[in-house]
């Protein structure tokens, strides 16, 4: 007896940070959403706790302003890519907090997410430390399906 999988994904969450891995995950999310007549929620999470832990509290506002401007540029690029792919069902979100918690709990609940797409973490130790921990956490704790986008899947 064979089972036919008929799962469709209507609300796809993808996090972007300007990295190649994040951009590829976003591009693939657009394709999945197109096939499923869904929407993409593309989020950039600014980890404001990092600045406090590093002792930059007096500079916190300036650093957060810089990060926010950078996030806006990244998300504008995402909108432009969606337009070039003839896709309009994209919602952009800038949020502040701990990326793995925001991506795994807050945003899925707020947007009724049924698929989270993440890029494969980089190969060097620093990328694994920063990105891998977020991806690994999402895989283990997500309230929905998770799709890992590997670099070689781009066509």
Q: Is residue 74 part of a domain?
A: no
Residue 102 is part of a domain; what is its CATH number?
3.40.50.620
Q: Is residue 142 part of a domain?
A: yes
**What's the token pair of residue 37?**
């007549």
Range of the domain at 50: 32-68+79-126+137-154
Strand-pair category, 90-96 with 39-46: parallel
Q: Is residue 141 part of a domain?
A: yes
Q: Is residue 73 part of a domain?
A: no
Residue 154 and residue 24 in contact, taking contact as beta carbons nearer than 8 Å: yes
- Write the pLDDT tens digit of every residue in 40-58: 999 999 886 655 555 555 5
Structural domains of the chain, count = 1
pTM of the shown model:
0.83
Q: Is residue 107 part of a domain?
A: yes
The CA-atom distances, in angstroms, between 14 and each of 61, 66, 146 are 26, 22, 10
54 burial level (CB within 10 Å; 0-12, 13-18, 19+): exposed
Q: Is residue 59 part of a domain?
A: yes
Could you read off the pLDDT tens digit of each residue along the chain, which spans 155 residues?
Answer: 566 667 889 999 999 988 888 899 999 999 999 999 999 999 999 886 655 555 555 556 677 788 899 999 999 999 999 999 999 999 999 999 888 899 999 999 999 999 999 887 644 555 555 555 788 889 889 999 999 898 764 45
Backbone φ and ψ for 91, nearest 5 degrees, come out as: -120, 130
71 burial level (CB within 10 Å; 0-12, 13-18, 19+): buried
Q: Is residue 14 part of a domain?
A: no
- Dihedral over alpha carbons 145, 151, 100, 105 (to 10 degrees): -20
């Amino acid at each position: 007896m064979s089972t036919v999988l008929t799962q469709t994904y209507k609300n796809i969450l993808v996090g972007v940070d300007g990295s190649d891995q994040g951009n590829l995950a976003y591009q693939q999310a657009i394709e999945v959403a197109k096939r499923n007549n869904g929407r993409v929620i593309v989020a950039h999470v600014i980890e404001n706790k990092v600045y406090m832990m590093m002792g930059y509290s007096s500079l916190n506002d300036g650093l957060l302003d810089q990060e926010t401007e950078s996030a806006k540029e990244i998300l504008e690029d995402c909108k432009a890519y969606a337009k070039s792919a003839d896709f309009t069902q994209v919602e952009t979100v800038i949020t502040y907090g701990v990326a793995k918690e925001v991506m795994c709990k807050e945003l899925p609940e707020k947007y009724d997410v049924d698929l989270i797409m993440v890029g494969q973490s980089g190969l060097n130790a620093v990328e694994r430390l920063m990105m891998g921990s977020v991806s690994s956490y999402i895989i283990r704790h997500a309230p929905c399906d998770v799709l890992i986008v590997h670099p070689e899947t781009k066509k």
